Amino acid sequence: MFKRKLIAAGLLATAVSSVHALPYGYYDARSVAMGNVSMATGGITTAALSNPGMLAVNESDDGVALLLPAIGVQAIDDGNVIDLVDEFQASSDLTRQLEILNELDGASLIGAVVPNAAFVYSGDSFTWGIALRGTGVISGGLTDIVTTPLPNANVTALGVGIQEIGIPLGTDFKVAGMQLSVGITPRYVQVDSIEYQQSIQTADFDDITDTDSEDLGSFTTADVGITLNIIDTFRVGLVAKNLIEETKTTSLGSDIVFDTHYRVGAAVDLGVVTLAADLDLTEREPIAFENPYKSLSVGAEIDAFKTVQLRAGFQTNMADGATDPDLLSVGLGFWLGFHLDIAAVVGDDSSFGAFIQTGFHF
């Protein structure tokens, strides 16, 4: 029951409107299935959202690509928060309630909903497009823990909703016989928030629907990326996101920080088989209760006759002191006259994610 309420809260956050401290971000089902790699493997619609340096890679003919409204969800329950809060509310045993509070001290949960859409036109020497991205995230944990005279605490959550529109631009040229692709995505970002607090005795995330959202305003920033095809089968990529940094502060004093973030990746594309890895070069601090994040991601894809793609991946949080579970992912891609891609992510019994999308390239 509590898990369903967590996801509902994430959906609400999206409805009211890349958040600092989230994992790098879910951009498309292919990337998610391959462990969330995208620096050197993404298609041109993925590049519009992740690494604009991929916009002009291997795009020698005029064409149009569409990423239709795609949606992903993610939940990470680090410390079994959901089940323990449910157990606390159902228990009348004070000793067990005290044990639960001790177990929950320092634990966190995070839920996110991510809808995306993109249009990209690729010309002979220049690629441009429009990218729309939303992120709804809620981070929760316990505050004000007391053990006497009765065990009690507050369930506190910060929900952040982001709406973004970007104009990706990219081109490529030869350097010492290698293809160097460069791109930039100027972005307009609108930020809203919801803050929630209630006693653990009665906490109910459905109540967040009665909480007014707060408009934190907007700002402009940009992402810049490059990729280099060292040989036909090997490529490296680098992106710098949020070149113009911004901090939004809620009326209750919570800071939502959009600082510059760097990520690097490499891929070997053998046609039938693609292998890739991405690494965060900078660490993201928590929004509220979750761990800092610095991701290492690896993934693979097998392409059967350009019709069916089988994908798998792994990602881990390398930030100092992080206790997030490692995540495994799998996915399928189909060409049915249009692209249909699905992906699933699991960590342990309390961590999961999924993504589904459709798109065209003609």
297-337 pLDDT tens trace: 999 999 998 899 999 999 998 988 877 788 899 999 998 87
Amino acid identity at 73: V
Q: Which of 195, 189, 181 is nearest to 219 (CA)?
A: 189
Lowest mean pLDDT segment, chosen from 122-126, 132-136, 165-169, 264-268: 122-126
> Helical H runs in the chain?
2-16, 29-33, 44-49, 81-90, 94-104
Residue 1 in this model has a pLDDT that exceeds 70: no
C-alpha dihedral sign at 243, 244, 250, 255 = positive
Closest CA relative to residue 108, chosen from 153, 159, 157: 157
The answer to whether 320 and 297 are in contact (CB under 8 A) is: no
95 in Cβ contact with 102 (< 8 Å)? no
User: What's the predicted TM-score (pTM) here?
Assistant: 0.86
User: Residue 74: which of 109, 33, 112, 108 has the closest Cα?
Assistant: 112
Give the residue among 15, 14, 119 at the shortest CA–CA distance from 74. Answer: 14
What CATH number was assigned to the domain covering residues 2-361?
Answer: 2.40.160
**Mean pLDDT, all residues of the chain:** 85
Give percent of the chain with pLDDT exceeding 70.
88
Of 40, 54, 107, 62, the residue nearest 286 (C-alpha): 107
Name the β-bridge partners of 264.
Answer: 238, 279
What distance in Å separates the CA atoms of residue 233 and residue 41, rounded to the nearest whole number? 11
Q: How many CA atoms lie within 13 A of 340 on its CB side?
A: 6
How many Cα atoms occupy the beta-carbon half-sphere of 17 within 13 Å?
Answer: 31
Show the tokens assigned to 144. 């004000």
Query: CA-to-CA distance for 300 and 273, rounded, in angstroms?
Result: 7
Q: Are 33 and 311 in contact (CB under 8 A)?
A: yes
pLDDT in tens, 226-277: 999 999 899 999 999 999 999 999 988 888 889 999 999 999 999 899 999 9
Q: Closest Cα partner for 261 from 22, 31, 47?
A: 22
Q: What angle do CA 292, 202, 346 make, to 5 degrees?
A: 40
Percent of the chain with pLDDT over 90: 47
Cβ(266)–Cβ(237) under 8 Å?
Answer: yes
Q: Could you please report the per-residue DSSP string of 112-151? A: EEEEEEEEEEE-SS-EEEEEEEEEEEEEEEEEEEE-SSS-
Q: 48: closest CA among 27, 21, 22?
A: 27
- Please write the tens of the pLDDT for every residue from 57-107: 865 556 888 887 788 888 877 778 878 888 999 999 999 999 999 998 888
Rounded distance, CA 33 to CA 42, Å? 12
The lowest-confidence range among 29-33, 122-126, 188-192, 248-252 is 122-126
The C-alpha atoms of residue 38 and residue 26 are separated, in whole angstroms, by 10
pLDDT, residue 288, reads: 66
Res 23 pLDDT > 60: no
Q: How confident is the model at residue 18 (pLDDT cuts 50, 70, 90)?
A: very low
